[in-house]
Amino acid sequence: MTRLSVNLNKIAVLRNSRGGGEPDMLRAARACLDAGAHGLTLHPRPDARHARADDVMALAGLASGRGLELNLEGNPFAAPRPGYPGFIALCREARPAQATLVPDDDGQLTSDHGFDFVRDRARLAPIVAELRALGCRVSLFADAHADSSAGGAAIEAAAATGANRIEIYTGPFAEGHAAGSATGALAACAETARRARAAGLGVNAGHDLSQSNLADFLAAVPGVEEVSIGHALIGEALYEGLAMTVRRYLALL
């Protein structure tokens, strides 16, 4: 069964838009876990526009106390600054079960591309080694390659970093699915997943997955170990509530 990790960044966005502590991150996290979610995801960015360092520690304690996983996402190359100690420093303190490395820039609205593994392998490898020494499973955000030769080189380079998994960036699939033309994107995702497993890497997936497209994605891309879903899930929960929305995703999985 594919595991569901609920990304709570959008709860933090809503809280930060007004200031104060509502909606409450811990209460939202408990609602998701009580409904059966397998874990929680946070992506604290250096500008603290949504999840903050204190959110990371609070959710790390909650997940650990329940024997469930915290997946912490971030760019390991983003410089520390006031309020943001840096991704590796956060991982040292929080000890997430999984660290997902993402190559987003400071001003980027959302993560919308994976690493260039051939180019970035040498600088990723020592970071992967440090995170694994902390006890973190390491996943690398990866584009799905339609070109088999480029995809093969990318996956070989990703595996050479020492990472445990890749997370396939599913934005192009979701866009194609909404337009009624997801065949090519699905084929690229399936081939990337196949190559990753052949290289000894586990496969996660995330970005713009929703109740409307998740079942189609998993049917075409077997063996996905975890999906991280936030934006769509929180949007859907505005209508049906967090608990019911989480249960609907679990039924799809």
Please give the Cα distance from 122 to 140 (Å, whole number): 14
Catalytic residue among 43, 50, 145, 177: 43
Buried b (16+ CB within 10 A) or exposed e, 3-36: bbbbbbbbbbeebeeeeeeeeebeebbebbbebe
Distances in whole angstroms, Cα of residue 203 to Cα of each of 39, 92, 159, 193, 194: 16, 24, 12, 6, 9
With contact defined as beta carbons under 8 Å apart, do 60 and 83 qualify? no
Residue-by-residue DSSP string for 23-88:
S-HHHHHHHHHHTT--EEEE---TT-SSS-HHHHHHHHHHHHHTT-EEEEEE-TTSPPBTTB--HH
Annotation marks residue 50 as catalytic = no
Active-site annotation holds for 207: yes
Identify the helix (H) or strand (E) that includes residue 109.
none
Interhelix angle 25-34/9-18, rounded to 10 degrees, is 150
Catalytic residue among 69, 73, 167, 191: 73
Q: Active-site residue among 38, 50, 177, 207?
A: 207
Q: Is 43 a catalytic residue?
A: yes
Give the dihedral sign, CA 169/123/197/228.
negative
Burial 182-209 (b: 16+ CB within 10 A, else e): beebbebbbbbbbbbbeeebbbbbbbbb
Catalytic residue positions?
A: 43, 73, 207
